[in-house]
Structure 1
Amino acid sequence: MRHLIPAFALAALRRGQQVEQFLGRVERDGQRGLRWIALSPGSSGVTIYVSDVEDVGTDNFFDITEFPPLDPEEESWGRMIAVLPAPEDALHLAERDLAADPQRWVNQGIVCDEYQDFRKMNP
């Protein structure tokens, strides 16, 4: 089972593990690309990052975490949206404000598999 049920996503964050979600296509400043988000726990809380990246994937290269950002001024890991003290708050904000699906969180690194599946369904 690839996707984490909400309780498992919350447990992962509490253990200090990052969770991610592929959100699909995005248009930003007239450029089409892809969006994915990461919730990364740390000493000051859970940081929410949004990455809007160029779709440079191929059948053999689908590591979306390595794709260049749509905005060259943006950091490669995305833009920080917020740092929240509680994992529950971070999940809630991501779902409420960033259109994350509570049933589609994955462990760190699995977002690449999500993108690969997306490519198969959207050639």
Structure 2
Amino acid sequence: RPDGRADMTYSDVVGEFPKADPRRAGLKRSLTAHTAGETRGRPLPTGLAVHDWDSGRSNAFEFGVHQVVEEAVFVPKPGATAERDAWLVGPSVNLKDGRTELHVFDVARIEDGPVATWQADTALPAGFHGVWAG
């Protein structure tokens, strides 16, 4: 709010490293992308999800227990204005292959899985944090 106050919204959404469309920073937005798939027995994320706050629905993609998913960056598609017209770009560690992978997801169809994946020759240290600037 202009006076510095804020409203708190509570939900049942479980996730880490929330990201939103950077074009909407400071504005009302409908979508939040975040890591997903954490369980009591395995507190590491195994997937990515996009939550629509207007509809209350979430869509997600799960790699399975052989992947540890890190923070994704929200990248708007060139010339697009809608929140869903974007990619999520983020790394994961493939525990089965012992390699880091970089994945590109279409925000509008995250449940379909990555549209592109690159695999490094080795497992890189976890800890990627960033924003898309450009």
Work out whether the TM-score is over 0.5.
no
TM-score (normalizing by structure 2)? 0.30
Which structure carries more strand by proportion? 2
Higher relative contact order (Cα pairs below 8 Å, separated by 6+ residues): 1
Query: Structure 1-normalised TM-score?
Result: 0.32
